[in-house]
Amino acid sequence: MTAAAVPDRVVSAEQRKRARSVGITYLVLAMVCFFIFTRRPGDAGFRITETSQFTLPAQGFGWALGIVLVAVAAAQLLRGFGRLSNVVLALATAAFFMSFLAWAAAGDSFSFVGMLQDTVSRSVPITLGAIGGILSERSGVINISIEGMLLAAACTSAIAASLTNLWLGTLVGALTGVALAAVLAVMSIRYKVDQVIVGFAINFFALGVTSFVSFRVLVPNRDTMNNLLPVTPIRIPLLADVPFIGTIFFEQTIFVYFSFAAVALATWGLYRTKWGLRTRAIGEYPKAAGTLGVDVNKLRYRNLLLAGAVAGIGGAWWPIGIVGRFDQNITNGRGFIALAAVIFGRWHPVGALCGALVFALAEAVRLKIGNFDTGIPSEFLIMAPYVVTIIVVAGFIGASRAPKAAGQPYEDQ
């Protein structure tokens, strides 16, 4: 009885600590509302279509939200919200986000639907990189090299698509991801080199090689080897006609639809198939799986190559899906944000997609806010996606457990 009571007290203490931290966060957000969001007069227009929009009074909404957040903070610190804590936190965060947008756009208007549509588009490389990370770590291999896979695939796909066509360029990007994943697999599985060190080595290698190629090859030959027309959005009939949601989700490029399909297939495969059961088993208890006849290392090889292919397609999104060229360090750390999405989603594809959308929203807001005279230095705006990543991962998702065998080499029995 005593042994069973100890863990309960420990868990309760952790819950109280987190509840106290969340309550203090509500108070901080309330102070921001009172002292910042109430300083700009005027109404902010959020355009839904070309002819319709809704408005928010920047000052009034800031005062009202600040008062509500103080009340929510008091309730959180005194009693808590129990099972509704995450719901209340999500609603408070969404309201604070809307207040921030109203403050930034006070006296002006912007396309709210366009910003959300851009969010979905910009989530593609983070989502596909996160799927690659999940497939790797669910198999027991830590994949720090997602950034390198995205960057190298972006470079090779830009060259291949410029010289041939967009589809072959995407295929070359996928194969580039597979090649780097093979290096990670051989070094970590066969030679049992520390997986984190191998991952960082791949990242530095990709950064160095792509920078050299960009400077020495692509810049002098930009018209022939680094110049292409990105894919155009595909409008899905009927679904695209749904008000609000249709424009956001169903007038996108093939890369967006592929990322949604990848999330759905990965979820179904990991939790509804024999392959998924074996993959999760070798990531948690590889010795037990090996005892039952699963070829652990062989399955890890296969899953890492698949992860590399998915990440490679994510890298091809930059030149083929949106930009039309390759620029030096074009990924700009999105591979590491993809790793944050893996943790945010607790190693589940759907959760990783949600994390990717959150981080992509920070990027879309940064680009949108840059059009307004907010007084925020451009350097701070550039930092926004990374600051959001740190805050979300460190403060809002609570404890999350990685697969037990991640990072541990396996010896064939």
Query: Domain-by-domain residue ranges, the chain?
Result: 13-107, 117-396
pLDDT exceeds cutoff 70 at 241: yes
Confidence of residue 155 (pLDDT cuts 50, 70, 90): very high
Token pair recorded at residue 254: 């093939």
* 308-345 exposure pattern, b = at least 16 Cβ within 10 A, e = fewer: bbbbbbbbbbbbbbbebbbbeebbbebbbbbbbbbbbb
pLDDT exceeds cutoff 60 at 8: no
**Residue 387: per-residue pLDDT:** 80
CB 339 within 8 A of CB 146: yes
Confidence of residue 84 (pLDDT cuts 50, 70, 90): confident
Mean pLDDT along residues 110-131: 95
Token pair recorded at residue 9: 């007290």
Domain 117-396 has CATH 1.25.40: no
Confidence of residue 192 (pLDDT cuts 50, 70, 90): very high
* 79-102 exposure pattern, b = at least 16 Cβ within 10 A, e = fewer: ebeeeeeeebbeebeebbebbbbb
In whole angstroms, how large is the CA radius of gyration of the chain?
23
Mean pLDDT along residues 288-311: 95
pLDDT exceeds cutoff 60 at 397: no
**SS3 assignment, position 244:** coil
Mean pLDDT along residues 27-33: 94
pLDDT exceeds cutoff 70 at 2: no
Q: Which residues contact 192 (CB under 8 A, 6 or more apart)?
A: 409
Among 100-109, 120-129, 303-312, the minimum mean pLDDT is found in 100-109
**Residue 7: per-residue pLDDT:** 47
**Residue 56: per-residue pLDDT:** 93
pLDDT in tens, 316-354: 999 999 999 999 999 999 999 999 999 989 999 999 999
Name the residue with higher pLDDT: 413 or 289: 289
Confidence of residue 15 (pLDDT cuts 50, 70, 90): low
The rounded distance, in Å, linking the Cα atoms of 328 and 210 is 7
Helices (H), 79-185: 85-104, 112-122, 124-138, 146-163, 166-185
pTM of the model: 0.92
Nearest to 28 by CA among 85, 105, 96: 96
Name the residue with higher pLDDT: 359 or 5: 359
Angle at 202 between CA 197 and CA 207, to 5 degrees: 125
Q: Please give the C-alpha separations between residue 103 and each of 33, 80, 99, 183, 274, in angstroms, as whole numbers.
A: 9, 29, 6, 49, 51
pLDDT exceeds cutoff 90 at 386: no
Q: What percent of the chain has pLDDT over 90?
A: 73
